[in-house]
Amino acid sequence: MARRSRQPQPAGRRSVTAPLAGKPKSQSGGEPVQRKRGFFSGVRNFTGEVRGELAKVDFPNRHQTWQSTSVVIGACIIVGLYLYGLDQVFARLVDHLVSLQK
């Protein structure tokens, strides 16, 4: 790999990553604007943002909902039967070990 020579930066220019002395950085490059908002305008703004995000959501149709529900119920039944089987095996093992102690 060839090395690149670093060219010195002009004196008046700062790097992008160097923060200004304690000031928060703004995306637009300008000074951050302090807005004084009331409670109800904040709630209205939040509600508007929630509606905007919900408009982007792709909700499943009835067939997809039934299909997903049946997969979840089937998985629950399979895991339940597996755990029931393990419980029966370990219960018999413990009964056998206890009977050996007597």
pLDDT at 102 over 80: no
pLDDT of residue 81: 98
Cα distance between residue 93 and residue 86, in whole Å: 10
Domain boundaries, the chain: 73-102
- For the chain, percent of residues with pLDDT exceeding 70: 65
Cα distance between residue 72 and residue 80, in whole Å: 12
Measured in whole angstroms, how far is the alpha carbon of residue 6 from the centre of its chain? 40
pLDDT of residue 88: 98
The answer to whether 95 and 88 are in contact (CB under 8 A) is no
pLDDT digits (tens, 9 = 90+) for 41-84: 888 999 999 999 999 999 999 999 999 999 999 999 999 999 99
**Which of the four pLDDT bands, split at 50, 70 and 90, describes residue 34?**
low
> What are the strands, taking DSSP E only, across 1-102?
none
The answer to whether 24 and 32 are in contact (CB under 8 A) is yes
Q: Distances from the Cα of 1 to the Cαs of 7, 8, 20, 68, 83, in angstroms?
A: 18, 22, 35, 52, 58
pLDDT of residue 55: 92
Higher pLDDT, 21 or 100: 100
DSSP secondary structure string for all residues of 2-23: PPPPPPPPPTT---TTPPPSSP
pLDDT at 101 over 90: no
